[in-house]
Amino acid sequence: MRTLINGNYAVSYAMMQINPDVCASYPITPQTQIIETFSKYVSDGKVTTENILAESEHSAMSACIGASAAGARVFTATASQGLAYMIEVLYIAAGLRLPMIMVVGNRGIGAPLLLHCDYSDSFLARDSGWIQIYCKDVQEVYDTTLMAVKITEKTKIPVMVMMDGFYTTHGEQVIDTLTSAQAKSFVGEKPSWANMLDSRITFGNVALTDSNLEVRERQFKDLRESNKSILGVQKEFNKKFGRKYGLYDAFGVKDADMVFVAMGSTYQVIELACKELRKKRKKVGCLRPRVYRPFPFEKLGRELKGKKIVVMDRAISHGAEFGPMGLEFQNMSSEFYNVVYGIGGREFGLEEARDLISKFLTGKQKKFQFYGLRADLEN
């Protein structure tokens, strides 16, 4: 069914179709619409979900942990400081291998206070042991929300689905939605997993010096190997509904001399600019990591071998040589550049994409730089 909808409503609609057992949440811009809309589904009787409106994000995630540990299918959403407030218990959810999904409306973290998009929040949680998937548009948000439920229950690893704050959370797009019967059939019946209602199982065990290393090695290995399950679920989705997803997207990379790497909604304008330049016989390409954790470094290394790489970072790693994304790519090419852009929602549209690519095609650039600084505010 064709539907005009924004990213927040797409998430709520997908979860309404699935009818999870528990939703525990706390509102925060720009994801508040998700929880408001889903709460209305609950009050209208469209779902039978236990809707827990917690007093904080830390409590919301703690409730999700308890519910999942009891065998429930669990969903939540957050953003920015809310995700930062959850950080302690995010590690617990992953360490206990509890299936759940959380949608993040990406928003920078203050101070100074800001409301708009960058990836400071979800990058803060990149090492917490969660699968992280970044979406470029509303259609992908809807599809990925459905797939995430199946992925987390296959891997027993919690899944975080990201969309750009305001650009995707509030930007409307005509998308193709499934019927509720199709959505439920695809996700399937909730499988059973080890839970605290089984008297033979304990949760929250202590792992001291004699066992902790082995536990972490297994967690590390399983997260890395979860790409197989992610690809399997995406392949099934494509076969049933005709929409194809992978660990990453690429355009024109095979014969490109220069490749621009970007995530989220930015990739759309980078791809448009590259397509324009291709018509002018410029050998440029672009690539979008979709699954950021586990990071598909081996596949991307082969894809980018011998290319000049310009990695675009919508976050800063203070005190590091490059931004968070840049650090992932710095050893993939001898010609590597890192650009920090769009922090705090700074505009980056098609004109900016054309300008940035033109600068790299026509002149020598710094290895690391900020793009889009206002001259009147520079120190």
**Inter-CA distances, 189 with 21, 49, 145, 184, 379, Å:** 12, 15, 16, 8, 57
- Segment 225-254 mean pLDDT: 98
Task: Tell me: pLDDT of 196 over 80.
Answer: yes
The pLDDT confidence band at residue 378, using thresholds 50, 70 and 90, is low
Q: What is the pLDDT, as a whole number, of residue 34?
A: 98
The mean pLDDT of the chain is 96
Q: What is the pLDDT, as a whole number, of residue 197?
A: 86
Instruction: For 252-270, write each residue's pLDDT tens digit.
Output: 999 999 999 999 999 999 9
- Block residue for tokens 């960058």: 118
Instruction: For 213-230, write each residue's pLDDT tens digit.
Output: 999 999 999 999 999 999
Q: What is the pLDDT, as a whole number, of residue 348?
A: 97
Which residues, including other chains, have CB under 8 Å from residue 283's CB and lie 6 or more apart?
Answer: 252, 255, 256, 257, 258
- Segment 237-246 mean pLDDT: 98
The pLDDT confidence band at residue 200, using thresholds 50, 70 and 90, is confident
For 355, half-sphere exposure in the C-beta direction (CA atoms, 13 angstrom radius) is: 9
Cross-strand partners of 106:
164
- Segment 175-190 mean pLDDT: 97
- Segment 85-108 mean pLDDT: 97
Phi, psi of 106 (to 5 degrees): -55, 125
Instruction: For 269-316, write each residue's pLDDT tens digit.
Output: 999 999 999 999 999 999 999 999 999 999 999 999 999 999 999 999
For 18, half-sphere exposure in the C-beta direction (CA atoms, 13 angstrom radius) is: 29
In what order do the strands lie in the sheet containing 336-340? 248-251, 284-289, 258-261, 308-313, 336-340, 368-370
Task: Tell me: pLDDT of 379 over 90.
Answer: no
The pLDDT confidence band at residue 377, using thresholds 50, 70 and 90, is confident
Under 8 Å between Cβ of 342 and 117: yes
**DSSP string covering 222-264:** HHHHHHHHHHHHHHHHHHHHS----SEEEES-TT-SEEEE--T
- Segment 356-369 mean pLDDT: 94
- Block residue for tokens 């206990």: 96
Domains, the chain: 2-241 (3.40.50.970), 248-370 (3.40.50.920)
- Which range (6-10, 138-142, 194-198) has the least confidence? 194-198
Rounded to an integer, what distance in angstroms lies between the CA atom of residue 350 and that of residue 295?
27
**Residue-wise burial string across 264-282, b where 16 or more C-beta atoms lie within 10 A, e elsewhere:** bbbbbbbbbbbeebeeeeb
